[in-house]
């Protein structure tokens, strides 16, 4: 009987090795599949965690909202001037004086790092406004941190070349860069039109009124 078993083992040794090889391949395949499945589950869990962190940050972040109004104590709001230098042509300018209100509607402090703005004389319709991207803007001193629920103000003197005429408009664009407790750079912008004593927000231009 023992001899018969040895004969059978010798005869089918190659088959046994082949079956063992298949078994090993199956084991490795199963391990790879389980590892891949576990990896996919880990990635899904990480994505869920990242989404939760983003939601939490949005709930606790600073939200700086901007608004332009006329200064209470400035009688002259739009001023035209002419300057001259020896040997150069006279330079005509139009200056508009506005008050920038920065209000923090968020739940954490906001540190204002940059305030920039410009104004331009608009010929014809507002639809002919140039894009604010890449426009040369004037820098202004910042206003420091703003605590949640509070606001700070800044008087801006914005100057455009040329004298504004009665059939023209002044367009204003202001950009405020700030960061919050998450050290994320954020931007809020506002665009306004000056027509006589009227200061109107350019609601029809979303790219000039953004909060990021």
Give the pLDDT confidence score for residue 133 in this predicted structure: 62
Are 93 and 191 members of one domain? yes
Give the pLDDT confidence score for residue 117 in this predicted structure: 93
Model's pTM, two decimal places? 0.71
Give the pLDDT confidence score for residue 39 in this predicted structure: 54
pLDDT tier, 146 (very low <50, low <70, confident <90, very high otherwise): very high
CA distances from 165 to 11, 86, 149, 172, 195 (A): 108, 27, 41, 16, 11
Boundary (domain end) residue, out of 10, 25, 60: 60
Give the pLDDT confidence score for residue 74 in this predicted structure: 75
pLDDT tier, 156 (very low <50, low <70, confident <90, very high otherwise): very high
Boundary (domain end) residue, out of 60, 77, 100: 60
Average predicted confidence (pLDDT) for the chain: 78
Stronger pLDDT, 21 or 131, i.e. the higher one: 131
Domain limits at 127?
A: 64-208
Beta bridge partners of 187: 177
pLDDT at 149 over 60: yes
Boundary (domain end) residue, out of 60, 85, 100: 60
pLDDT tier, 196 (very low <50, low <70, confident <90, very high otherwise): confident
Are 43 and 121 members of one domain? no
Are 32 and 85 members of one domain? no
pLDDT at 12 over 50: no
Whole-number percent of the chain with pLDDT over 90: 32
Give the pLDDT confidence score for residue 158 in this predicted structure: 93
Are 32 and 135 members of one domain? no
Are 147 and 167 members of one domain? yes
The per-residue DSSP string of 162-211 comes to SPPPTT-EEEEEEEEEEE-TT--EEEEEEEEEEETTEEEE-TT-GGGS-B
Are 56 and 84 members of one domain? no
* Burial class (CB within 10 angstroms; exposed 0-12, middle 13-18, buried 19+) of 92: middle
Report the domain count for the chain: 2
The CATH number of the domain holding residue 118 is 2.60.40
Residue with token string 């410009």: 118
Are 104 and 185 members of one domain? yes
Closest C-alpha to 170, from 51, 61, 92, 78: 78
Mean pLDDT of 108-129: 85
Are 162 and 93 members of one domain? yes
Work out the number of other CB atoms within 10 angstroms of the CB of residue 209.
17
Are 38 and 85 members of one domain? no
Give the pLDDT confidence score for residue 126 in this predicted structure: 73
Work out the number of other CB atoms within 10 angstroms of the CB of residue 18.
11
What is the rounded CA–CA span in Å between residue 31 and residue 44?
A: 20
């Amino acid at each position: 009987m023992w001899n018969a078993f040895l004969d059978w083992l010798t005869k089918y040794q190659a088959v046994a090795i082949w079956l063992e090889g298949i078994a090993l391949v199956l084991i490795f395949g199963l391990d790879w599949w389980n590892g891949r499945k576990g990896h996919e589950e880990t990635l899904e869990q990480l994505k869920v965690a990242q989404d939760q962190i983003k939601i939490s940050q949005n709930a606790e972040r600073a939200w700086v909202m901007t608004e332009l109004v006329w200064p209470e104590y400035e009688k002259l709001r739009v001023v035209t001037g002419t300057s001259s230098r020896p040997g150069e042509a006279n330079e005509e300018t139009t200056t508009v004086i506005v008050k920038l209100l920065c209000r923090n509607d968020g739940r954490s402090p906001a540190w204002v790092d940059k305030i920039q703005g410009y104004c331009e004389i608009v010929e014809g319709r507002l639809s002919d406004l140039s894009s604010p991207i890449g426009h040369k803007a004037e820098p202004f001193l910042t206003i420091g941190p703003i605590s949640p629920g509070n606001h700070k103000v800044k008087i801006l003197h914005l100057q455009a070349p040329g004298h504004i005429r009665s059939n023209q408009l002044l367009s204003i664009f202001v950009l405020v860069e700030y960061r919050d407790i998450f050290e994320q750079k954020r931007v809020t912008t506002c665009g306004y039109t000056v027509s006589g004593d009227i200061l109107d927000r350019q609601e029809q231009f979303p790219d000039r009124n953004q909060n990021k």
